Structure 1
Amino acid sequence: MAPAKWTYSNIDYMKHQLRQLGFGYDWSRELATCRPEYYRWEQWLFTELYKKGLVYRKNSVVNWDPVDQTVLANEQVIDGRGWRSGALVERREIPQWFVRITDYADELLEELDGMESWPEQVRTMQRNWIGRSHGVRFAFPYELDGKQEKLWVYTTRVDTIMGITFCAVAAEHPLARHAARSNPELAVFVEECRQGSVAEADLATMEKRGMPTDITVTHPLTGEQIPVWVGNYVLWGYGEGAVMAVPAHDERDFHFAKMYGLEIKQVIQLPEERFSTDAWQEWYADKGNGVCVNSGPYNGLDYSAAVDAIAADLAAKGLGEKQVQYRLRDWGVSRQRYWGSPIPMVHCDKCGIVPVPVEDLPVTLPEDVEFDATGGSPIKKMPEWYRTSCPQCGGDAERETDTFDTFMESSWYYARYACPDSDQAMLDERADYWLPVDHYIGGIEHAILHLLYARFYHKLMRDSGLVKSDEPFTRLLTQGMVVAETYYRQLTDGSLQWFNPTEVERELGDRGQVISARLKSDGKPVEIGGIEKMSKSKNNGIDPQTMIDRFGADTVRLYTMFTSPPDQSLEWSDEGVEGAHRFLRRLWGLAWSRREELADATIVASDFNDAQKADRREIHAALKQACFDYDRQQFNTVVSACMKVVNTLYKLGDSAADRTLLREGFGFVLQLLAPIAPHIAHALWRELKYGEDILESHWPEADEDALKLESIQYVVQVNGKVRARIQIAADAQQSAIEEAAQTDENVRKFIGDAQIRKVILVPGKLVNIVAK
């Protein structure tokens, strides 16, 4: 099926399902980011950013899927293989388009401190991803083929510079390529390195391997010759593509040096610690408590003093300086796949790269395409699409055939909701009325991708005069994932075949855990993969439609809200869905069995006996707690409060007072449930004559008078031991409380002839009499 047809079909299916679920969306603002009327504006902004110098094109080392013929994001590389094709990922250097997010690194970092309505975990993740560091960039001079060159590195630990025993460079580094020309074994190793992922997470966990190049560079301060190695853990395009190695004070370098028998030279010492090359110790990397040793003129200096002195000496030699650097890299927005917004650039042999003029936008993606077995994007094979004329000189030219990373579309859709019908501008004055978004909901997995890109894109729009606000989202809720059991079989080729939980018959243990499973279709065992996030790849998703058809939309909504707090993972359970359904049936059963009393609004009683006062207090206490829980987004406890009230209502009798409580309490339950189970709440509200539309009713408030206790039970202690419990009027004065405690018959027995030295009162709870 063509991607466009598949996408629009899915949109229709999901819209139908969302309507069934009763979500109160304003469908007049609906937009689809794959439609030209939407992406024309990001194409326009891209060309404007290009004119400002905020967009550029350069060669970059990427993860390349040789089967799908496209670049993969680091997150799409799993154990060195493409997440979809399963093919071994290659490193490949290709031209890519970038947006200069690093120009905004300081602002993106510093504004996090003021975003107090964002979870601290998300802010910390963004701080770490931006990764501002203070260090020193310096060079190792060397001569190659009669030319004087420099190998540049950046480090935050220049205080250990006297402990350098080797340098490591990426496989793509010019030194590595030069050495590999005359060293076949090294050439093979370099090619192996190029096959691996460029994801930092993969590099952190992979075995660290290397090979010497037989090239040396000169230590900038000592003049020593330092050997250069190629390391599979060094990334080209990240920093300088080269690192200094101090095995004595960097754990990765330590293990690498031990593996290859390289020198380990201690240059930092902590008081009362003993250095040994036998095994790594955590204190070796401590920069806050040690001083320099074996470091010539820097001996005895602490970290800060050593950095200052060494940086000054390097600067004096013209070989280094202090720098602030960032872990953040410019945003690569090129994708070699078909499905995406075309990048609005034209390549002309005479004029170079030329942006498409605004009057020719959008550059529309052809939707009626055919795919073949060779893989890759079909538009690269459509000369009738990519051949064009240069907007500048009118000569023959070709369109850019890469498409935008789809994070481009998701980085500004929220703003377009404010003016979805604007056809004269990307945004209009309505955007400033609605923005920033008051409350944004998204998963924690978006912390360093979508949420960071959206913040950056908002600032690009601000600096282009499209919005006035600095940040897109005032408040952020990161909802938990829906997780479920996974089941699989390993096939003869080693791959895994995953089965949906609905296809599996399970055997449960005493605690409800799955202890064995069989495939329903053949009765044979399947492996239990554990509980994981619902996903297509693990085939453990549950289509809400099947649950809607079986139990109704309100059951699905209630179960989702009740099973866990919104910021925690929800473990899907068919038994739990059935439990939610039973509660709604119980609610409906109460309404049906007492429909006449509930529908009679003329019954109003104000005189309640003690038991009825206690019931009313319980109802209003649950209402107050539920309102509080709504404010803090603890919807599961809102449902719990409703269940408590329903239990109370089931116990009420037939007196006028009981019937008054029944109607009052049931109305509260319907109003509290309306945002969670809107269909049943709306239907019962009307049927029981509470009003026409529950959405138009005033939100309920607890009666503080109903919450007041007429009397309070106090625990009475004598010398710290409980001797009695007494009931005292809630408004009793301290003297009356103390007197009642001292005159209690059981208390008097334990005081006897002793003298009361002190009476300690904890209001509303306890009286402790100290007697000797």
Structure 2
Amino acid sequence: MNYDFKQIEKKWQDRWDEDKTFAATTDYSKPKFYPLVEFPYPSGQGLHVGHPRSYTALDIVARKRRLEGYNVLYPMGWDAFGLPTENYAIKNHIHPEIVTRQNVARFKSQLKSLGLSFDWDREVNTTDPSYYKWTQWIFLQLFKKGLAYKKEMAVNFCTSCKVVLANEEVVGGVCERCGGEVVRKVKSQWMLGITEYAQRLIDDLDEVNFIDRVKTSQINWIGRSTGAEVDFSTTEGDKLTVYTTRPDTLFGVTYMVLSPEHPYIDQWGQAGKVHNLDALLSYREQAARKSDFERTELVKEKTGVCIDGVRAVNPVNGKEIPIFVSDYVLMSYGTGAIMAVPGHDTRDWEFAKAFSLPIIEVVAGGNVEKEAYTDCGTGTMVNSGFLDGLTVDEAKKAIVEWLDKEKKGHPKVNFKLRDWVFSRQRYWGEPIPIVHCDKCGFVPIPEDQLPLKLPEIEDFEQTEDGQSPLAKLDSWVNTTCPHCGGPAKRETDTMPQWAGSSWYFLRYCDPHNDKELASKEALEYWMPVDWYNGGMEHTTLHLLYSRFWHKFLYDIGVVPTKEPYNKRTSHGMILGENGEKMSKSRGNVVNPDDIVEQYGADTLRLYEMFIGDFEKAAPWSADSIKGCCRFLERTWGLGKLLVPGEGYSAALETSFHKTIKKVTEDIENLKFNTAIAAMMALINEIYAQKAVTRDELRDFLIMLNPFAPHITEEMFEKYGLGKGMLSHQKWVQYDESKCVDATVELAVQVNGKVKARIVVPANCDKETAIRLAKDHAAIAAELTGKMPIKEVYVPGRLVNIVIK
């Protein structure tokens, strides 16, 4: 019978569904294993072949763990709130809920067609009120602890769409969606105080098993630095505070720079202290048309306006210095003001050259005028008054002590991390459960009134001034204050897509609980996640946000662990056949449905794992997938080689033990490609013997099962190799002592050229190996009448006999 993958795969997918084969149990006495993959955003395009790479990898690990006796929770759900669905709904006049429902159904059918062993009984959806009830509950706890607050801040505003955009939605200074002009606009935004956890988010990385590049991305984004806050006075008596990691270079400060949005510009202008206010306001307007990325880009023309009428005073030498306004300084970072040391900073040097400003060398080590600037991480202080002659490290300590004593500054630990902007002026997101009362201020909705459901509306467009579509729904906005009973208005901003994905792993532990986000018993058993895999693009913000929420929940006694994930790995992309990232615009997207239809799910799974190093990008190859298909056809053909007898044959025993060991270890180390290669080599040996025992076939199928579950289940049942499903069997074991070959093949060389090959005991000594080599007929003929002058033995590899 030919390998009918369509009939076989449907049969087993239906059987697994009916029997709930992969459902995690509530038997908390068993050892647990909780693998997690990032739940997808269900877009209208459906899956492409890049998606299954992560899902299949952890599916292999999950299936192996079940065979090892673990209670496995391998869940799946939908990160379904978000801008793309809302944009589609606006364009096509379809409610986002309908779009989401259709997209989820398509994604789910595609995932099921791949034979992934998800526990579908624990499926979650961030747009389900029974789920976002608990997202809102977490927000209220953050609010009560002062970690959720509202703040006026500059945002990206599309003048055409009338919406606030994230930085990544601004491309080339215009809206990615409509191409409209984007300006900076001050709006009141909800913020989450993630900076309160900055140090812990760094320190606790020591307690988890994350690959190095993931840890590095977290640490770099948080950006911890040590330095000092320094107060510069001004000729108007005001104080400008800056943060610097190099207070030792204060004698080299020759100018200061303010953000165009700095409030002192308006303050001095209104007081008539600034003589070029029009120029400053015009420059501010220009800066408002740039994204933060464009403003801070290193390689760009340096622009700015010098404030005419107010100067700063260098605190260490009393010298007056000019104050510039330039767009590369952001009000959202630090204090919105910087001190400039052009002798020892690239950007400051370029700015100083552009505006003909003084450049002073304060750390000896080069001609700054000629060399652009000096790398001053080490060296001796010069032109620095009482710091002269000190090393950089000595000067740092001395200047901080002086600033503290003179009350002109103090030591400071700073973080690049900013508090999380949590507002979205959108419809398709979780309503923020807050009302505003003129008498009581911001008031949380009582917890027993959660979930605050998203109301049904037909118009999803934002208001002219960029408010959420919810602002137009008076019947929903107007309400009463939970505190005083007076009139109040609901918050019309909704939460970002990040909200639901910051805690979803907790809900999987107990997804149907309507009394709490998950029971204490379930959380204590399942948490932390044992192994989390996802793309490198999510190892910074998503990981940071979810770790922050988890730590907060730990602090208030909701979860039992400080960290949500014990282990985090990341996979490389699958590229198009042209080696470029898959995208519709490039025309190189491969639909997994087409591959499953042509070759079957097992072939697709096998190929995605065989395509190359799991952690690196790899191009798709329509030709290479055929090799995996042939391997499965040969696996199917093993039934024809079945012979009576138990155990391993003498010819295959060592190979089986070695292959079992390799596959066992390679799965744990994400070396799926080499595990598959080992099984391919083993099947070649089986075919060479032209026979396979029942035990050999059973163990080969169990080894292959995590990779190709459908064909292996079918063959296990077809040949009656055990009771029940293969998925309920035990993982194969190897004997370390039998992983060593009893014999090895040696190349025998004469004067460096291979003349013969011999088989010798694996532990063969030099004397025996050389004797056996000389006994070989071909070598004996070479040596006739000649005297060896040198004999070399490389154990396990070769014998080389040198003759004249």
TM-score range, shorter chain: 0.7 to 0.9
Residue 772 of structure 2 corresponds to residue 683 of structure 1: no
- Looking at structure 2, the residues matched to 425 and 607 of structure 1 have their Cα atoms a distance apart, in angstroms, of 57
Question: Structure 2 residue aligned with 1:549, among 586, 590, 597?
Answer: 597
What does 1:182-581 correspond to in 2, within 5 Å?
182-199=276-293, 203-214=297-308, 215-270=310-365, 274-281=366-373, 284-288=374-378, 290-372=379-461, 377-429=468-520, 430-484=522-576, 531-532=580-581, 534-535=582-583, 540-581=588-629
- Richer in strand (by share): 1
Residue 230 of structure 2 corresponds to residue 138 of structure 1: yes
Larger displacement relative to structure 2 (742-751 or 54-63): 742-751
Does the CA contact (< 8 Å) of 1:441 and 1:477 recur in 2? yes
Residue equivalent to 1:525? none
Change (3 A) 1:702 1:336: same
> What SS is found at the alignment partner of 1:556?
helix
Post-superposition offset of 1:606: 7.4
Does the CA contact (< 8 Å) of 2:232 and 2:313 recur in 1? yes
- Looking at structure 2, the residues matched to 770 and 652 of structure 1 have their Cα atoms a distance apart, in angstroms, of 38
- Looking at structure 2, the residues matched to 551 and 724 of structure 1 have their Cα atoms a distance apart, in angstroms, of 44
Change (3 A) 1:551 1:722: closer
Change (3 A) 1:222 1:730: closer
Cα deviation, 1:601-651, whole Å, max 9, x if unaligned, reads x3459776xxxx2x6544554443222211212112222223223333444
> What SS is found at the alignment partner of 1:403?
coil
Change (3 A) 1:18 1:713: closer
Say how many residue pairs are matched: 698
Letter of the 1:64 counterpart: F
Does the CA contact (< 8 Å) of 2:648 and 2:696 recur in 1? no
Post-superposition offset of 1:4: 1.2
Letter of the 2:204 counterpart: E
Residue 44 of structure 2 corresponds to residue 12 of structure 1: no
Cα deviation, 1:210-257, whole Å, max 9, x if unaligned, reads 111122111111111110111111011210001111111000111111
What does 1:133-172 correspond to in 2, within 5 Å?
133-144=225-236, 148-172=237-261
Does the CA contact (< 8 Å) of 2:163 and 2:462 recur in 1? no
Cα deviation, 1:60-100, whole Å, max 9, x if unaligned, reads 22223333433333333333333333334322221111221
Question: Structure 1 residue aligned with 2:168, among 68, 71, 75?
Answer: 75
Cα deviation, 1:387-442, whole Å, max 9, x if unaligned, reads 11111111111111111122111011101111111111122121111000011111
Residue equivalent to 2:158? 65
Post-superposition offset of 1:371: 2.7
Cα deviation, 1:486-523, whole Å, max 9, x if unaligned, reads xxxxxxxxxxxxxxxxxxxxxxxxxxx6xxxxxxxxxx
Change (3 A) 1:741 1:295: same
Residue equivalent to 1:520? none
- Looking at structure 1, the residues matched to 689 and 562 of structure 2 have their Cα atoms a distance apart, in angstroms, of 55
Post-superposition offset of 1:767: 6.6
Residue equivalent to 2:67? none
Does the CA contact (< 8 Å) of 2:748 and 2:800 recur in 1? yes
Post-superposition offset of 1:350: 1.1
Does the CA contact (< 8 Å) of 1:2 and 1:370 recur in 2? no
Larger displacement relative to structure 2 (401-410 or 314-323): 314-323
Larger displacement relative to structure 2 (132-141 or 371-380): 371-380
Change (3 A) 1:750 1:616: farther
Change (3 A) 1:422 1:760: same
Does the CA contact (< 8 Å) of 1:741 and 1:747 recur in 2? no
Does the CA contact (< 8 Å) of 2:251 and 2:362 recur in 1? yes
Change (3 A) 1:404 1:206: farther
- Looking at structure 2, the residues matched to 432 and 604 of structure 1 have their Cα atoms a distance apart, in angstroms, of 44
Letter of the 1:630 counterpart: I
Larger displacement relative to structure 2 (555-564 or 252-261): 555-564
Post-superposition offset of 1:300: 1.1
Post-superposition offset of 1:689: 2.8
- Looking at structure 1, the residues matched to 479 and 525 of structure 2 have their Cα atoms a distance apart, in angstroms, of 41
> What SS is found at the alignment partner of 1:442?
strand
Change (3 A) 1:155 1:539: farther
- Looking at structure 2, the residues matched to 254 and 580 of structure 1 have their Cα atoms a distance apart, in angstroms, of 58
- Looking at structure 2, the residues matched to 769 and 586 of structure 1 have their Cα atoms a distance apart, in angstroms, of 43
Letter of the 2:393 counterpart: S
Structure 1: where are the runs of 5+ without partners? 486-512, 514-529
Post-superposition offset of 1:733: 5.7
Does the CA contact (< 8 Å) of 1:164 and 1:244 recur in 2? yes
Cα deviation, 1:653-696, whole Å, max 9, x if unaligned, reads 4xxxx344xx5554444323322221122122222332342112
- Looking at structure 2, the residues matched to 606 and 311 of structure 1 have their Cα atoms a distance apart, in angstroms, of 74
What does 1:602-613 correspond to in 2, within 5 Å?
602-604=644-646, 613=651
- Looking at structure 2, the residues matched to 607 and 114 of structure 1 have their Cα atoms a distance apart, in angstroms, of 47
Larger displacement relative to structure 2 (209-218 or 693-702): 693-702
Residue 663 of structure 2 corresponds to residue 626 of structure 1: yes
Change (3 A) 1:639 1:732: closer
- Looking at structure 2, the residues matched to 552 and 753 of structure 1 have their Cα atoms a distance apart, in angstroms, of 60
Cα deviation, 1:135-175, whole Å, max 9, x if unaligned, reads 0101111143xxx2101101011111111111111110023
Larger displacement relative to structure 2 (122-131 or 705-714): 705-714
- Looking at structure 2, the residues matched to 752 and 573 of structure 1 have their Cα atoms a distance apart, in angstroms, of 55
- Looking at structure 1, the residues matched to 307 and 192 of structure 2 have their Cα atoms a distance apart, in angstroms, of 35
> What SS is found at the alignment partner of 1:574?
coil
Larger displacement relative to structure 2 (58-67 or 238-247): 58-67
> What SS is found at the alignment partner of 2:580?
strand
Letter of the 2:517 counterpart: M
TM-score (norm 1): 0.83
Change (3 A) 1:424 1:753: closer
- Looking at structure 2, the residues matched to 627 and 546 of structure 1 have their Cα atoms a distance apart, in angstroms, of 31
Change (3 A) 1:542 1:208: farther
Post-superposition offset of 1:474: 0.6
Task: Report % sequence identity.
Answer: 39
Change (3 A) 1:142 1:359: same
> What SS is found at the alignment partner of 2:325?
strand
Provide the aligned C-alpha RMSD in A. 3.1
Post-superposition offset of 1:35: 1.2
Larger displacement relative to structure 2 (170-179 or 445-454): 170-179
- Looking at structure 1, the residues matched to 504 and 263 of structure 2 have their Cα atoms a distance apart, in angstroms, of 42
Does the CA contact (< 8 Å) of 1:137 and 1:153 recur in 2? yes
What does 1:122-137 correspond to in 2, within 5 Å?
122-137=214-229
- Looking at structure 2, the residues matched to 551 and 721 of structure 1 have their Cα atoms a distance apart, in angstroms, of 46
- Looking at structure 2, the residues matched to 86 and 73 of structure 1 have their Cα atoms a distance apart, in angstroms, of 15
Does the CA contact (< 8 Å) of 1:560 and 1:570 recur in 2? no
Change (3 A) 1:85 1:667: farther
Question: Structure 2 residue aligned with 1:89, among 173, 182, 197?
Answer: 182
Does the CA contact (< 8 Å) of 2:156 and 2:185 recur in 1? yes
